[in-house]
Amino acid sequence: MAGRRGEGDEVVTTPEAPADVRERARSIPEAAVARLAVYLRVLSGMVDQQVTTISSEELAGAAGVNSAKLRKDLSYIGSYGTRGVGYDVEVLVSHIERILGLTRKHSVAVVGIGNLGHALANYGGFPSRGFPVAALFDIDDDLTGVPVGGIPVDHIDDITTVCAEREVSIGVIATPPQAAQAVCDRLVSAGVQCILNFAPVVLQVPDNVEVRKVDLAVEMQILSFHVARRADEAAGELVNGVGVDGVVIRP
Amino acid sequence: MAGRRGEGDEVVTTPEAPADVRERARSIPEAAVARLAVYLRVLSGMVDQQVTTISSEELAGAAGVNSAKLRKDLSYIGSYGTRGVGYDVEVLVSHIERILGLTRKHSVAVVGIGNLGHALANYGGFPSRGFPVAALFDIDDDLTGVPVGGIPVDHIDDITTVCAEREVSIGVIATPPQAAQAVCDRLVSAGVQCILNFAPVVLQVPDNVEVRKVDLAVEMQILSFHVARRADEAAGELVNGVGVDGVVIRP
DNA sequence: TCAACTTTGTGCAAGCGTTCACAAGCGGTA
DNA sequence: TACCGCTTGTGAACGCTTGCACAAAGTTGA
């Protein structure tokens, strides 16, 4: 690790990304990035409560991870803690925000204004975290022009021009599964490089496009697996004539 | 791996889980479980298209993974393929369903009937995949009694009794963040052991409860990180005076 | 100034998960 | 029956992630 530390970078809040930071960001494990986002949320809550300093132990507890992992995660973005004291909450927030690229606004387009699309368009969590919803699309002519959550719905055929105009950088697909791949292709050809996919379909995209998927049925099935596994384990213990809590139960 | 294969299990479709299967299920990696759910979805589509047999290569392509990983994943649940031929689609479907515990119905309760809760209550993807929505809860008296998606909303105070009556096994939290932990505690004390959490909060639960979280803001931030990383890489290349496509650009 | 105490940052080893590569096994064909 | 081609199933190597344990570095108090 050739991580020679910069001399001064620690103190000054740098809105730009110097070469040093660039190099670090490249090598942060995917899993760590996801956790950094969680730390950021927790830290934002701390700021609201006027907490100025926090130790790795406390932050780890609040984020649901162990402290060693937390410190390692933070070390990927630099050394911004003070030994014997902990981390300055605001400093940490600003560094995580920079690493996650939250210093720029990322306009979002939601495609498919059904139940889920409506919910997403009205969801306050996006704008408040720097992801303004800038465009809505649907294939239904009856919907186009009608505003949802304050934003008028455009027809899906206008994706290319509207996305370009409003500098959309993230596309959210909330269409039925049959339409998802076609919508995805249009978003990609409109220059959108990041896609959040709620449709239960595996999207095919070029290498330069990043897709993350949220599949509710898959989440349910994973939970179902755990229920089944537990039931089976209990059954397995019953075979031995002993229940989970040591109580003997008849087979 | 003490995986002596049963003699007969392969042919007969066993609705019960024999000791052999139980042992396997215990040791399936979490990541593999998530992919099995995806394979199942793809395979279900194959059944609809009257495809009877599929090779690991084809299925892997459709599921967006490489074929070695797919075969290893399937090997966790047993050896149900035919060398030189591939997998029988229906056989595979039934085995994955059994491993994921989908032979039982899992009733779902949605708590928090706001935008997202409405969308979830009306989402057709749940019932069609064996997860009937059996109960809805909210704290707002104006909502209780009003049916949403065909199911009447109950008051949150009645969680314990209603969940017990309707044998709810999965709880979905779609409340504002402030309410999430309290709702979670109530679900747990009502005996719910699986929770899908949409609130941007880290839930604290006992060891015997399984939580999966879907945090839209976190997903967005991960995408944002990748945008930023790409932009920085591009900038890094510009520093060398050469653009991404080999075109020289002035610094 | 110095010693005691606290907490960070990180080398290292163990554990998982992924990928490779190939033997084993099956169907088709002569 | 014997051979050939194809595809599965899996041991083994590899790489990423996690967790431990401790030196380094800061603060506090005398």
The answer to whether residue A31 neighbours chain B at the CB level (below 8 Å) is no
- Compute the nearest-CA separation of A25 from chain B (Å): 7
What one-character-per-residue DSSP string does A219-251 give?
HHHHHHHHHHHHHHHHHHHHHTTB-TTS-B---
Each residue of B106-131: pLDDT tens digit? Answer: 999 999 999 999 999 998 888 888 89
List of protein residues whose beta carbon is under 7 A from strand C: A 1, 3, 55-57, 67-68, 71-72, 74-75, 79-87; B 29-32, 65-66, 68-69, 71-72, 82-85
Residue in chain A nearest B208 by alpha carbon: A230
Mean pLDDT for B15-26 is 56
Q: Which two tokens stand for residue A42?
A: 């927790």
B residues 100-129 near A, CB within 8 Å? 100-102, 104, 106, 108, 115-116, 118-120, 122-123, 125-126, 129
E strand intervals along chain A: 53-54, 81-82, 86-88, 107-111, 133-138, 147-148, 151-155, 168-173, 194-197, 210-213
Using a CB-CB cut-off of 8 Å, the residues of chain B touching A236 are 19, 22
Cβ atoms within 10 Å of B98's Cβ, excluding its own: 20
Inter-chain touch A200–B119, beta carbons under 8 Å: no
Q: What's the rounded Cα separation, in Å, for the pair B239 and A123?
A: 40
Using a CB-CB cut-off of 8 Å, the residues of chain A touching B170 are 220, 223-224, 227
Q: What is the pTM of this model?
A: 0.88
pLDDT band (50, 70, 90) for residue B88: very high
Mean pLDDT for A228-247 is 59
Q: What is the pLDDT of residue A235?
A: 73
Contact B136, B74 (CB under 8 A): no
Residue A16 has pLDDT above 90, yes or no: no
End-to-end CA distance of chain A: 59
3-state secondary structure B126-140: CHHHCCCEEEEEECC
